[in-house]
Structure 1
Amino acid sequence: MNFPFYIARRYLFSKKSTHAINIISCISAVGVAVATMALVVTLSVFNGFHDLVASFFTSFDPQIELVPAEGKTASADDPLLQKVRKLPEVDVASECVKDQALAIYKGKQTMVWVMGVDDNFERMSRIDDILYGDGTFLLQAANLNFAVVGIRLAETLGMNANWDGNLMIYAPRKTGQLDLANPSDGFVVDSLISPGVVFMVKQGKYDRDHVIVPITMARTLFEQQGMLSSLQIRLKNGSDLNAVKEKMQNIVGDRYRVLDRYEQQADTFRIMKVEKFIAYIFLTFILIVASFNIIGSISMLIIDKKDDVVTLRNLGATDRQISRIFLFEGRLISFFGALAGILIGLLLCWLQQQFGIVALGQSSGTFVVDAYPVSVHPEDVLVVFATVIAVGFLAVWYPVRYFSRRLLG
C-alpha cells in the first residue's frame, strides 16, 4: 500500500487534538461540494435551454439547407443542385426564396421576412405540428395566394388565425429607375389572404416577422424568376446526416454552403455556448475561493501532527514522503467534496426534471415551459470532476511545500 496515502487517509478520518481542525476540514469539504454542485446544476440548466431551443427549431428548419456561398440567390436549375436532389439519401427537396418586405394590414405596418416555399415544403418540414387555427396549411388555390404568418406577427398587425381582408406586401423594385413623381411605382405589390391558421415556433426569430407564401408569388415580388435563396432537404429515415452532408459538400464544392440545423442557427447556439462557458469560468473562481479553506485545514493539521512527523522520521520516512502525506490529505478533501457535490447536483437535477421544483414564473403558461429545463450531459460531469480535482490539487501543492519546510524543517 502507498505509505503516504495510507497515513493521509488515517489523518482525514481520525480525531485531531484540536477539535477546530475537524470542523475546518468539514467546512473545506462542504465548500468544495457546494461549488461542485453549483457547477453541475448550472451547466445542466444551460444544456436544458440548449436542447429546448433545438427542439423548437426542428419543427421549422430543414435537416440540411444549401445556400449560395456568395450572393443571396442562385439558379434553381443549377446542375450541382440537381445532382444533390438525385442523391439516394434525399427524401424531399424544397426550393425557397426569402427576402425582406413591408407588410401592411388595415393601416398597421411592419417589416417582415417573406419566405416563399414550393409544394414540397409541407412534406419537407413538420409545419403541421406548429399550426394553430381552424384552417389547413394552404398557400395557393387557382389564382389566389395565401399567407401563413407567425403568431407574434399576427398580434402586431391585429390579426387572428382566420383574419379577413388582404395582407399587402411591398418590395422595392430591383430594376428600372424610380419615378419621383410617382414613388409607388418603385414597389412591387401583392396581396395575400388567410388560410385560417398561423404558426408558432415559440421562437421570436420566426414568430414575430416571418410570412410563408407561395414561391411563385415570392419570385414575382422580389423579381427572382428561376432563382432560389436556398434548397432545403429532408433525408430518408436511417440516413447518416454527417456522411450525407459531407457528400453534398463534395458535390457543390465552394459554390454552396451545406448547413445542418445547428449551423443554420449558428449565432443562437454560439451565444448559448459563450454564456455557458462564462458561467463555468465564474463558478470555477468560486471553487478556487472555496479551496482556500483546504489550505487553512492542512496548515493546522501540519502543526497538530508535528510530534507524529518526528516519529515517522525516526521510523525512516523521508521528508518527501511526509510532504506527500499532507498533499494526499488535501487531495482527499477535494476528492470527497467533488464526489459529494456531483451526487447532490445530479440529485437536484433529477428532482427538477421530475417535479419542476424551480419554476420560471409564478403562473403556468407565462413561459414556453413552466420550470427551468435541465439536461445532464455526461461530458459536463466529467469536466466538472476534472476541474474540481485539478483546482484542489493545485491549491494544496504550494502551501504544503511551504509549510512543510517552515514548520517541519
Structure 2
Amino acid sequence: MFRPLSLFIGVRYTGARSRNSFISVITLISALGLMLGVAVLITVLSVMNGFERELQTRILGMVTHLSVHGREPVDDWQALADRVQQQPGVLGVAPFVELQGMLTHRGAVTGVMVNGVDPQAERNVSIVGDYIWEGDFDSLTPGSFNLVLGYGLARKLGAEVGSQVILVLPEATVSPAGVTPRFKRFTVSGIFRVRAEVDSMFAYVNVDDGARLARMAGRVEGLRLRLDDLFSAPRTSQQLLDRIGAGYYTTDWTRTHGSLFQAIRMEKTMMGLLLSFIVAVAAFNIVSSQVMLVTEKRANIAVLRTLGASPGTIMRIFMVQGMLIGAIGTAVGVLLGVLLSLNISDIGHFIERVLNRDLLQAYFVNYLPSALQWRDVAMIAAMAMLISFSATLYPSFRASRVQPAEALRYE
C-alpha cells in the first residue's frame, strides 16, 4: 500500500473532479485568489522598495548625510577634516559654504540655494558630479565665478551653458546711490540633472568664490560628511561632537528629509498590511471549499474509518488537499509577482504611451522603480503557506469527527 496513505488520498482528492461542480469552482477561485494576492504583494513591495532606493540614491545622495558647522567660520578646514575622518563610519569629507539668494536671467527670477564646494572633495560626499547634464563640474575653479545649475533652475531661467546669470544676495550695501542689494554675475559652466526636487533648488560655485560672497574669504562654514550607514547619522553626530569639542554643532539628513523617508516606509508597511487581506480572503475561500468537500465526501470518510483509518489520518487527508491548493496558488503567485516586479518599469512606460499621459510627473522619479528583494518574496510565500495551513484546520477537524454509522445510514 502507498505510504503515507493520507498523502496519497489527499493528492487524489485534489486532482479528481468533484461531483459538485460548484465546489470545483470555489477551489479554483481559492487558488486564483491566493495567486493574485501573492503576486500583488510582491509587486507592490518591490515598487515601494524601488522608491525607497531612489530616495536614498538620488535625494539623499545629493543631500548631506551629516554636516559639521563652526559657530564661527572655520579657518583651517583641512585640520578639522583630519580629526573628523578619524571617526569610524565616515567615508568622505568636503568643505562647504552655503548662501541663499535669487538668480535672475533675462527677466526671469527664481530662488536658489548656492553651495560653495571644492569639486574634487565634493565627489566624496555627493553624487552631483556623476549627474552632469551639460558642461563640466570641474570648471568650478577659484576666482572663475562659474556656476553649475540644476536642470530645473536652468529651465526656469531659460539659461544654458555659457549664459550670464546674476546672483542677488539678501544683504544690503550702503552706497552714495542709496541702499542696494548685493549681486554678482556668474557664468553658467554646467547643468546637473538628478531627476529629483534638488534640480530646482541647488546651484554650485567654487568654495573660495562662495566664501568671498559670504565675506569669509579663506574660511569655510563647515564640513559635509558621507557615512557608510546613513541611518547611523544621529548617533555619529553625537560621537563627533564629543571628539571635536566645543565650537561646533552638527546637523544630519533626518532633520531635513527624514519625514519623507519615514513616510515611504510607513506607506510600504501599510500597503503590505492592507494587501494581505487579499490572501486572507483566498484563505476563507479555501475554508468554504474544504467544508463543502467534507460534506460531499462523508460516505468516503465513513468507509475509510470502517477500514481502520484513524481520525488523525482523515484529518491529514484534507490538510494535504488544502495545503496543495495553497502551494499551487503560492508558487504561481510568486512566479507571476517576480516577473511583474522585474518588468514593472517597462509596463508602466507602456501604459503611459497608451494613455498618452505622464502618470508620475508629480513624483521625484518619472518611472516606476522596482527593487525585488528575495527576503520579501520568502516572507510573503511563507505567510501565504501559513494562512493556507491555518485555513485547513477547521475543515480537517470536522472531517475527522464524522461518525461512520451516521454517515452510512442513508447510503
TM-score tier after normalising by the smaller chain length: 0.7 to 0.9
Contact 2:142 2:208 (C-alpha < 8 Å) held by counterparts: no
Alignment of 1:6-405 (within 5 A): 6-57=8-59, 60=62, 65-67=66-68, 75=74, 77=76, 81-85=81-85, 93-121=93-121, 123-124=123-124, 125-134=126-135, 137-142=138-143, 144-164=144-164, 166-172=165-171, 184=179, 189-204=182-197, 206-222=198-214, 226-233=219-226, 250=239, 252-253=241-242, 266-352=258-344, 356-359=346-349, 361-362=352-353, 372-398=368-394, 400-401=396-397
Distance in 2 (alpha carbons) for counterparts of 1:268 and 1:72? 29
Q: Counterpart of 1:194 in 2: which secondary structure?
A: strand
Contact 2:101 2:167 (C-alpha < 8 Å) held by counterparts: no
Query: CA separation of 1:262/1:393 partners in 2, compared to 1, >3 Å: closer, same or farther?
Result: farther
Contact 2:326 2:384 (C-alpha < 8 Å) held by counterparts: yes
- Give TM-score, length-normalised by structure 2: 0.75
Larger CA deviation: 124-133 vs 286-295: 124-133
Q: Counterpart of 2:321 in 1: which secondary structure?
A: helix
* CA deviation after TM superposition for structure 1 residue 227, in Å: 4.8
| Unmatched 5+ stretches in structure 2 | 407-411
Contact 1:33 1:340 (C-alpha < 8 Å) held by counterparts: yes
Name the structure 2 match of 1:237. Answer: none
* CA deviation after TM superposition for structure 1 residue 337, in Å: 0.6
Contact 1:73 1:227 (C-alpha < 8 Å) held by counterparts: no
Amino acid at match of 1:337: G
* CA deviation after TM superposition for structure 1 residue 95, in Å: 0.7
Distance in 1 (alpha carbons) for counterparts of 2:365 and 2:112? 27
Distance in 2 (alpha carbons) for counterparts of 1:313 and 1:394? 24
Q: Counterpart of 1:375 in 2: which secondary structure?
A: coil
* CA deviation after TM superposition for structure 1 residue 379, in Å: 0.7
Contact 2:330 2:384 (C-alpha < 8 Å) held by counterparts: yes
Contact 2:142 2:207 (C-alpha < 8 Å) held by counterparts: no
Q: Counterpart of 1:27 in 2: which secondary structure?
A: helix
Amino acid at match of 1:197: G
* CA deviation after TM superposition for structure 1 residue 39, in Å: 1.5
* CA deviation after TM superposition for structure 1 residue 112, in Å: 1.9
Distance in 2 (alpha carbons) for counterparts of 1:194 and 1:317? 90
* CA deviation after TM superposition for structure 1 residue 322, in Å: 2.7
Distance in 1 (alpha carbons) for counterparts of 2:40 and 2:377? 12
Distance in 2 (alpha carbons) for counterparts of 1:258 and 1:218? 21
Amino acid at match of 1:198: I
Name the structure 1 match of 2:409. Answer: none
- Number of aligned residues: 386
Query: CA separation of 1:330/1:337 partners in 2, compared to 1, >3 Å: closer, same or farther?
Result: same
Contact 1:116 1:217 (C-alpha < 8 Å) held by counterparts: yes
Distance in 2 (alpha carbons) for counterparts of 1:119 and 1:345? 43
Q: Counterpart of 1:193 in 2: which secondary structure?
A: strand
Distance in 2 (alpha carbons) for counterparts of 1:217 and 1:265? 28
* CA deviation after TM superposition for structure 1 residue 196, in Å: 2.9
Distance in 2 (alpha carbons) for counterparts of 1:215 and 1:72? 18
Q: Counterpart of 1:168 in 2: which secondary structure?
A: strand
Contact 1:138 1:195 (C-alpha < 8 Å) held by counterparts: no
* CA deviation after TM superposition for structure 1 residue 289, in Å: 1.7
* CA deviation after TM superposition for structure 1 residue 303, in Å: 0.6
Q: Counterpart of 1:120 in 2: which secondary structure?
A: helix
Query: CA separation of 1:308/1:401 partners in 2, compared to 1, >3 Å: closer, same or farther?
Result: same
Contact 1:72 1:229 (C-alpha < 8 Å) held by counterparts: no
Distance in 2 (alpha carbons) for counterparts of 1:13 and 1:198? 64
Identity, in percent, stands at 25
Larger CA deviation: 74-83 vs 1-10: 74-83
Query: CA separation of 1:91/1:381 partners in 2, compared to 1, >3 Å: closer, same or farther?
Result: closer
Amino acid at match of 1:378: W
Deviation digits for residues 357-392 of structure 1 (CA, Å, limit 9, x no counterpart): 441632999679886443321111112102212222
Distance in 2 (alpha carbons) for counterparts of 1:296 and 1:352? 34
Amino acid at match of 1:210: F
- Give TM-score, length-normalised by structure 1: 0.76
Distance in 1 (alpha carbons) for counterparts of 2:320 and 2:394? 13
Deviation digits for residues 111-145 of structure 1 (CA, Å, limit 9, x no counterpart): 22121213534553554432233566423454x42
Distance in 1 (alpha carbons) for counterparts of 2:242 and 2:7? 59
| Unmatched 5+ stretches in structure 1 | 235-239
Amino acid at match of 1:203: A
* CA deviation after TM superposition for structure 1 residue 277, in Å: 2.1
Amino acid at match of 1:139: L
Distance in 2 (alpha carbons) for counterparts of 1:55 and 1:315? 66
Larger CA deviation: 316-325 vs 218-227: 218-227
Amino acid at match of 2:133: Y
Amino acid at match of 2:186: I
Deviation digits for residues 187-211 of structure 1 (CA, Å, limit 9, x no counterpart): 6x2313124321111112x101111
